[in-house]
Amino acid sequence: MIIPVINWSLISLEVLISIILVFLVVMDIALPKNTKKDWIGISSFIALLGLIIFWSTQKDLTGVTFSGMFVMDSLAWFFKGFFLIAMVFVFAMTQEFFKSLGERRNEFYLLLWLALIGMCLVASSADFLLMFISIEILTISLYVMTAYLKSDKLSIEAGMKYLILGSLASGFFLYGISFLYGITHSTHFNVIQSYCEIHVMAPMTLFAMVLIFAAVGFKIAAVPFHMWVADVYQGAPTPVTALLSVGSKAAGFVVLIRLFFGIFGAWHLEWSLALAILSAITMTYGNLVAMFQTNIKRLLGYSSISHAGYLLMGAAAGSALGVSGINFYLLGYLFTNLAAFLVIIVFSIATNSDEIEDYAGLSQRSSLLALTMLLSLVSLAGMPPLAGFFGKFTLLMAVIKSGYVWLALIAGVNIVISLYYYLMVVKRIYVDAPRHTSAIIVPRGIQLLLIAAIIGIVVIGIFQGPFLDAAMAAVNGMYLAHL
Amino acid sequence: MITPNLTWILLLPLFGLGFVCLLPADKTSLIRRISGVAVLLPFALSVWVYVAYDHVAGGFQFVQNIPWVVPFGISYHLGVDGINSLMLLLLGAASLAAVLISGSIKERVKEYYVLLLITIIGTYGAFLSLDIFFFYFFHEVAAVPVFLMIAIWGSERREFAAMKLTLYLVAGAAIALIGLLALYLATGLQTFDLVAIQQQLASHPIPMATQNWIFPLIVVGFGITLTLWPFYTWAPVGYAEAPTAISMLHAGVLKKMGAYAIIRFAIQLMPQAAHAWMPIIAALAIVNIVYCGLVALTQRDLKYILGYSSCSHMGYILLGLACFNTIGLNGVVYLMFAHGIMAALAFALVGFVSEQTRTRNLDELGGLLKCMPFIGTCFMMAAFASAGVPGFANFVAEILVLLGAWDQYRWLTVFAVLGLVITAIYLLKAIRLGFQGPLDPKFSKLVDAQTLSAKFPYVMLLALLILVGCLPSVILTHIGSSTKTIVESMR
């Protein structure tokens, strides 16, 4: 038996994260129970910043290890950075969120770290087994975090819904993998890919692909796998909602890219129409339902469905441009959506409400919160000069280039619909008179983060070049790319 | 010789915006002064650009070109020709007047000027850009600030009006964006640079089948901005409910971005499709002129009259665009300028009146000439200008358009002339009901614009109308230098 040589440098980021996790577990046990100071949160924060620096040195690291199970390529690198930055925001949100709750904060941090490992591994999977396990690591920690507020009915309900539907999705995923294994005798992407290149649209393989797509559709919240979204978004603790809407969705899109532009890339012509139709339905459904929401978290839940629809346009385009569009869009979406959730957290701590009507007159209670919400909503709607605009621009260009002008037109209609409900919130914040005039105080740390998010939204929106280059580079160096 | 640097036209108001943002909200008079300077300086620069532009040489001048997003061929490319140098002048004058008459805004002053300056910067950027991407980018920047300004500082139905206006305009922009992207892909050049695309398409036009579906997307998309019938309904209500400065800027300038885009991106780049489609647009233009004119006749609200009137006059612009001859296109650009100044003036005057009287309803007004002779006289002159009385800029513009149209569309032109009569009727009616007759005693205490600084914005706009009306060559030489090449490319 040959023991495969393992290239540890490729997997060093994940190893480091695991070490940090273990260290934090020990710290949690060792620290006296009644310490006021949030040591784990602070060390997590420092560790994350360190990890981002470490990640930035890994740019040119490429290769496959663990007998071809683990891959480090440009796509993985791009998304790991994405997840790390998202986590910085989520940790800060958590810190803020648990200030009012107090207990069981440390375990939550540990779960977040676990989710981070899962996401990073998803980005690097080159084998269905590893991919399944890493998705499960991510999802199981999300189950726990969703139901974390034990005394809150909505949180428990959200957790149950997410667990049941999530398990169903995992079942589909496994079922699909088992078919693929039966056909190709392997779970390695490269083996399955070469099989698919020869046997285009082989019925059994196609069936497996559809099953796997159902699981991915669940992760990215595409119609018809979206049933869980609104309730879970509303019920889950807001930092988890933020993680679901950005991190988990992005993880789903990494899988999608690996599947449709790698393994099943040879079938492009056949699947792209199906994805285009799905994209149109998803964005239209999300936007139409979002119009009638009165709770800001539910509104963003449905809006996140519609954004999955926009993102699917990039997949439907089936070109390198489309994937670059997805990457760029997600990058803008990261800052935009996290900024919105930051505002929601600060606001709900101050007023104990997530109802949109309570946002009335926010501009007179805290100009920073109001401005952040304005910019992020307008950016979500895709108006220049903000990040969301150029993402939509790139995706529209990609679908028109691939000949789906009708999809671009539907997207155009959707932009108008979405603008309507985003502007209704903006109207509440800036036009309506406040019910309570008391000022909302934003903690110093959150202020910095809000400003960072605003800078992110505006800079990505105006100086698109470097970010587009990064999004394109991620595609160009992709392992097993079939574009 | 020092040549003007176009980037400063954007940077100066941007600096002003930055200053205003940094100031505390209660320093209102300082905020007003800085905003005034922030629009005065780019106006002065625009005048310089206009004067320095060499119309004999023609083409794009004072060009600046910085690559921006290389993979897509997007560049920060500024430059002016006879058309947009005139548009800069229009925007400069209208924006200065709009900022000066905003003194009556007392609530949330800082936010007001911030949003107003963003709108102005976006519009400058759109007119300066020679890159299709950046045109679109800047043109959309104004959308949300305008929404907020109408929704916060507008009159009774402001929230409805703001939403309707914004959704219509964004829908138009989205349709146009799809057309522009299709155009970009159809050229196969991988560049959004207008100049490069113009050169390429002059020798290798896009296949007719492709042109045929891209062209209507762009024309209808930007046509919505230009209140093309039947997509005009956002305008009257939007202008009526908006604060005065936004009515002035939107009816005067922002709307003209639609016509500008149709000239630059649709007609010039896809002349074959233009020949096929523009007769339909011409017919719609007549509906615009006559139908909106008739609706204006029935209105009792001064601002609604102006709003419908503005939609009606856009018909002449659309008709001129469909002419394919130099004289018609000259008329279009001339009218964009003349109508812009006239609309800004008329909305400013109505804003003044309604702030004093707290009503815009003609049934309640009357005899205002007695208590505000200056404002009343200005309004009468603006109305004469709008109705096409010789001596004002609009007369020249409308004559040019009608002459251009006569060759192409005999019958339509007859109706277009009829539109002028309708205009005269509703404007005379407005003057008679609003400014003549007995003065309601409750209005006897009203004060006219008294100080020189209060009168200045109106005088400036009126002077421009008369100057350009009496000396058409001041702007016709500029316009002609650019329209000539466009019309040649259409043959």
Q: Is the CB of A420 less than 8 angstroms away from the CB of B163?
A: yes
Share of chain A above pLDDT 90, in %: 70
What number is the average pLDDT over the span B30-37?
Answer: 92
**Residue B131: φ, ψ to 5°:** -120, 130
Q: What is the domain count for chain B?
A: 1
Average pLDDT over residues B258-286: 91
Q: Do B296 and B426 form a contact (C-beta atoms < 8 A)? A: yes
Rounded to an integer, what distance in angstroms lies between the CA atom of residue B297 and that of residue B299?
6
Distance from CA of A280 to the nearest CA of B (A): 16
Q: B78 - beta bridge partners?
A: B64, B129
pLDDT at B491 over 80: no
Whether A7 is in a domain gets the answer no
Compute the residue count for chain B: 491
Q: Residue B390 contacts by C-beta under 8 Å, 6 or more apart in sequence?
A: B469
pLDDT at residue B141 is higher than 70: yes
* B72 neighbors B132 (Cβ within 8 angstroms): no
- For residue B490, is pLDDT > 80? no
Digit-coded pLDDT (tens) for A208-257: 989 999 999 999 999 889 989 999 999 999 999 999 999 999 999 999 99
Mutation to test the B interface, candidates A310, A397, A410, most B Cβ within 10 Å: A397
Global pTM reads 0.94
Is the CB of A472 less than 8 angstroms away from the CB of B184? no
Residues β-bridged to residue B77: B65
Task: Give the A-side interface with B, CB within 8 Å.
Answer: 363, 378, 383-385, 389, 393, 396-397, 400-401, 405, 408-409, 412-413, 415-416, 419-420, 423-424, 426-427, 430-431, 464-465, 468-469, 472
**DSSP codes of every residue in B392-416:** SHHHHHHHHHHHHHHHH-HHHHHHH
Q: How high is the ipTM of this complex? A: 0.92
Give how far A319 is from chain B: nearest CA, Å: 14
Three-state SS for A107?
helix
Tell me the nearest-neighbour CA distance from B361 into chain A, angstroms.
Answer: 26
Per-residue pLDDT tens digits for B429-487: 999 888 888 888 887 778 887 888 888 999 999 999 999 999 988 889 889 888 888 88
Q: Do A397 and B185 touch (CB under 8 A)?
A: yes
Report residue B344 as tokens: 């800004």
Q: What angle do CA A193, A199, A205 make, to 5 degrees?
A: 70
Query: Of B181, B186, B93, B77, whose CA–CA distance to B138 is shortest?
Result: B77
Radius of gyration over every alpha carbon of chain B, rounded to an integer in angstroms? 21
Reported as a single tens digit per residue, the pLDDT across B39-56 is 999 999 999 999 998 888
Q: How far is CA A84 from CA A108, A233, B358, in A?
A: 17, 21, 57
Two tokens, residue A97: 């969120």
Is there a contact between B114 and B17 (Cβ–Cβ < 8 Å)?
yes
pLDDT at A102: 63
What is the Cα A159 distance to its own chain's centre? 18
Q: Which residues of A touch B72 (CB under 8 A)?
A: 397, 468
Q: In terms of residue numbers, what domain contains B396?
A: 7-490
Which two structure tokens, joined as six digits, stand for A160? 């149950």
Q: Rounded distance, CA B274 to CA B491, Å? A: 11
Helix (H, G, I), strand (E, B) or coil at B450: coil
* Contact (CB<8Å) A400/B171: no
The answer to whether residue B2 sits within a structural domain is no
Q: Which long-range contacts (CB under 8 A, 24 or more apart) does A448-451 make?
A: A449/A89, A449/A92, A449/A342, A450/A339, A450/A342, A450/A343, A450/A368, A450/A369, A450/A372, A451/A368
CA-only gyration radius of chain A, Å: 21
Angle at A198 between CA A194 and CA A203, to 5 degrees: 105
For the record, the structure tokens of B437 come out as 């007759």
Q: Which two tokens stand for residue B375?
A: 């404002």
Q: Which helix (H) or strand (E) holds A71?
A: strand A70-72
| Whole-angstrom distance, CA of residue A330 vs CA of residue A311 | 8
Largest Cα separation within chain B, whole Å, is 70
Task: Kindly list the residues from chain A whose CB atom is less than 8 angstroms away from the CB atom of residue B147.
Answer: 423, 426
Give the pLDDT of residue A415: 94
Banded model confidence at residue A479, pLDDT cuts 50, 70, 90: confident
Mean pLDDT throughout A327-338? 94
**Residue A1 token pair:** 């038996």
Query: What pLDDT, on the 0 to 100 scale, is given for residue A66?
Result: 86
Indicate the angle between helix axes A387-401 and A464-476, nearest 10 degrees.
50
pLDDT band at residue A65 using 50, 70 and 90 as cut-offs: confident
Distance CA B2, CA A439 (A): 52
pLDDT band at A477 (very low <50, low <70, confident <90, very high): confident
Q: How far, in Å, CA of A437 to CA of A222, rounded? A: 40
**pLDDT of residue B130 exceeding 60:** yes
Higher pLDDT, B203 or B219: B219
Q: Which residue of B has its CA nearest to A473?
A: B71
Please state, in angstroms and as integers, the Cα–Cα distance from residue B174 to each residue in A362, A380, A411, B150, B464, following that order. Answer: 30, 15, 9, 21, 35
Residue A24 falls inside a structural domain: yes
Task: Please give the single-letter amino acid code of residue B467.
Answer: L
Residues in chain B within 8 Å Cβ distance of A408 = 178, 181
A412 contacts B178? CB cut-off 8 A: yes
């470097």: which residue's tokens? A466
CB contact under 8 A, B178 and A409: yes
Q: Which amino acid is at B149?
A: M
Cβ-defined contact of B143 to A465 (cutoff 8 Å): no
Q: Search chain B and give the residue with CA nearest A375.
A: B144
d(CA B456, CA B466): 15
pLDDT tops 60 at residue A332: yes
CA distance A397 to chain B (A): 6
> Which string of b and e fits B282-319 if b means at least 16 CB within 10 Å?
bbbbbbbbbbbbebbeebebbbbbbbbbbbbbbbbbbb
Provide φ and ψ at B430, rounded to 5°.
-60, -40
Judged by CB atoms closer than 8 Å, whether chains meet at B151 and A413 is answered as no
Q: What does the pLDDT read at residue B338? A: 93
Q: Decide if A188 contacts A125 (C-beta within 8 A).
A: no
- Work out the angle between the directed axes of helices B271-287 and B410-435 (0-180°, nearest 10): 40
Distance CA B140, CA B138 (A): 5
pLDDT at A1 over 60: no
Say which DSSP state B437 is in.
S
Q: Residue B360's pLDDT is what? A: 86
Q: In this structure, how many other beta carbons lie within 10 angstroms of the beta carbon of residue A1? A: 2
SS3 B230: coil
Nearest CA in chain A to B75: A465
Paired residues of A72 in beta bridges? A63
Q: Is the pLDDT of residue A2 over 70?
A: no
Residue from B105, B138, B91 nearest B28 by CA = B105
- Relative to beta strand B74-80, strand A63-65 is unpaired
Average pLDDT, whole number, for chain B?
90
Could you give the number of structural domains in chain A?
Answer: 1
Distance in Å, alpha carbon of A417 to nearest chain B alpha carbon: 8
- What's the mean pLDDT in B291-309? 92
3-state secondary structure of B63: strand
Residue A339 has pLDDT above 70, yes or no: yes
What Cα–Cα distance (Å) separates residue A316 from each residue in A261, A327, A393, A395? 11, 14, 15, 10
Contact call for B68 and A465, based on CB within 8 A: yes
Query: What is the per-residue pLDDT across A96-121, written as a single tens digit (0 to 9) for each?
Result: 888 876 677 888 999 999 999 999 99
pLDDT at A137 over 60: yes
Looking at residue A478, its pLDDT comes to 87
For B70-213, where are the E strands, in sequence order? 74-80
The verdict on whether omega for the bond into residue A239 sits within 30 degrees of 0, i.e. cis, is no
Residue A6 lies in a domain: no
Cβ neighbours of residue A400 closer than 8 Å, sequence gap 6 or more: A408, B178, B181, B182, B185
Out of A385, A412, A468, the one facing B137 most closely (by C-beta) is A385
Q: Which structural domain, as residue segments, surrounds residue A282?
A: 12-28+37-476
In a domain, B307, yes or no: yes
pLDDT tens string B338-351: 999 999 999 999 99
Rounded-to-integer distance, Cα B465 and Cα B334, Å = 11
- Residue A4 included in any domain: no
- What is the number of CB-based contacts under 8 A between chain A and chain B? 86
Cβ neighbours for B339, distance < 8 A, ≥ 6 positions apart:
B252, B256, B310, B313, B317, B386, B394, B397
Cα A108 to chain centroid, rounded: 19
Q: What is the DSSP letter of B438?
A: P
pLDDT of residue B238: 92
Q: Which residue from B44, B212, B73, B199 is spatially nearest to B131, judged by alpha carbons?
A: B73
Q: Do A427 and B177 touch (CB under 8 A)?
A: no
| Pairwise CA distance, residues B325 & B269, whole Å | 16
Dihedral sign from CA coordinates of B47, B49, B50, B51: positive
Identify which of A177, A175, A169 has the alpha carbon closest to the alpha carbon of residue A143.
A169
The beta-carbon neighbor of A396 closest among B69, B163, B177 is B177
Those residues whose C-beta lies under 8 Å from the C-beta of residue A34, and which sit 6 or more positions away, are none
Q: Which residue of A lies nearest to B187 if distances are taken between CA atoms?
A: A401
On whether the CB atoms of residues A44 and A107 are closer than 8 A, the answer is: no
Mean pLDDT of B71-90: 92
What Å distances lie between residue B392 and A232, B317, B397, CA to CA? Answer: 65, 17, 9
Asked whether residue B100 is domain-assigned, the answer is yes
